[in-house]
Structure 1
Amino acid sequence: MKPFFVLVVVFIVCALLLKLVAGQVNYRLSAQIAMACMLVFTAIGHFAFAEGMSTMLPDFFPMKKELVLITGLVEIALGVGLVLPQYKYASAWMLIVFFILVLPINIRSAIGHINYQTGALDGPGISYLWFRVPLQLFFVLWVYFSTIFGK
């Protein structure tokens, strides 16, 4: 829920600032900046809760904590790439793939009641998927329509 609010609030702030500074709103740029900020926000969680997030991964993954940290770095890199004109299209496609690849981990974690912060089995559970799966689709569509569509 917090990433969604970060995304929306940053989008609104960027749109307003662009209107004040440039005299017009660049919705695509505002959306790209908002997604970049949201990715940095979620990446912070990868570093702050690396232990807990590592329990989200199935046992067959080696070096789980390191993988969590690497995916945090990937989120930051792709977010930065979204706002750099020469990298934004490649970053957008990679981000869409990333969102699709992490969805099964989020589904598995919800089914297992895994608390991503602590690793305990007291997470929100399967009801969380009613929010998380549409949110993940929303993120994919946000990236696609703000960066790739109609380029």
Structure 2
Amino acid sequence: MPKPLVLIGAGEFAQIACEYFEHDSEHDVVAFSVERDYLAQPRLADRPVVVYETLEAHYPPAEVDVFVAVPASQLNRLRTRLYRDAKRRGYRFATYVSSRAFVWRNAEVGENSFIFEGNVVQPFVRIGNNCVLWSG
């Protein structure tokens, strides 16, 4: 059974992450979430966009995983701030590893990380939390 997932963010990377999680993972994207000041539309990709500050009221931490799907804005400070805040609020984080990436059996990948297709993660590699590995 798919795990419900809320994507924090509603920009281009969040839409890309939605496609990958929906079609190449065990997660079902149920909503997007953005900070109140950035709420531009009530729905995106046929899913609700909820205010981040009230996320627990709509999607409690015990019921969903989250993924912070914002780009490397401000040298990753924005993604780091949202990641730390969601962690403080008790959310569990999804990690996406493309079925078309090569990840060695003893490699370690942290939470809230995203590994696109075409990446090679060799033996003994440790990828930390909140990382994005683009390819191409």
TM-score by length of 1: 0.26
When normalised by structure 2's length, the TM-score is 0.29
Structure with the bigger RCO (C-alpha within 8 Å, sep 6+) is 1
More helix by share: 1
Larger strand percent: 2
